[in-house]
Amino acid sequence: MVCIVSFSHRGISQALLLDKGEKGTLLGAGLNSMDGVRQLYGGLGFSPNGKFNIGLHAFRVTEKEADDLSVLAVQPYLEYFFIKQDDQTPLSMSLTALYTRGVLRSDYLKSLGINVYQNGFGGNLMLAHSLQAGSKTKMIPFGRLGYYYAQVDAKDGLFTYESTDEGIEGSLGCVFSFPTGGNAFNIAPSILLDSEDLGFGIYFSLLFK
């Protein structure tokens, strides 16, 4: 049995919340749920200038109908805003590249001496627009469209069995950003889309400037 999980749905980046030229660090955690698969994840990211992002997420994935199976994964990513919203530009656009390394955990597979690993690559394009929702509160609707490729290797000590998957995924959401002193608390609910299913995600984060 081989389980392939897509990790292309993730939380917002710090540069989305920063103005051009600002730097900041984002600490966050989120939950995605789609077709009986639940992803819990947390992450840390840094932007030196409000346009370039670097960060890392850690995931734990479980499936409703497979109590004995879970996936643990780490995901470094790079994001660059090649268009940044300002007084003359109404939208922000970014490109993200990410890599995922995961391991499937199962007591049953462990008893058989089978180890299962997953490697994945992906990228996405994001479009966003920042609105002033109050005297200080920001509201940022966004949309993402991305591609992912994943390969799973199951090894039993003698043989390696491979399985691959790829697809297009997207999401539509909105960030609500509330200032807390010089920093900000953020909530980002989103609808998750792929070729067959709809899902839901929510991400909580703190931005430190």
What string of pLDDT tens digits covers the 209 residues of the chain?
444 455 665 778 888 999 889 999 999 999 999 888 889 999 999 999 999 999 999 999 888 777 778 889 999 999 999 999 988 999 999 999 999 999 888 877 777 777 888 899 999 999 999 998 777 889 999 999 999 898 888 887 767 788 888 888 899 999 999 999 889 999 999 999 887 788 999 999 999 99
Alpha-helical (H) ranges within 19-169 are: 107-111
Domain of 143?
Answer: 14-208
The pLDDT of residue 2 is 42
State how many domains the chain has.
1
pTM of the model: 0.88
From the CA atom positions of the chain, what is the Rg in Å? Answer: 18
Q: Is residue 198 part of a domain?
A: yes
Q: Is residue 112 part of a domain?
A: yes
Q: Is residue 4 part of a domain?
A: no
Q: Is residue 139 part of a domain?
A: yes
The pLDDT of residue 111 is 75
| CA dihedral sign of residues 84, 168, 139, 15 | negative
44-81 residues labelled b (16+ CB within 10 A) or e (exposed)? ebbbeebbbbbbebebebebeeeeebbbebbbebebeb
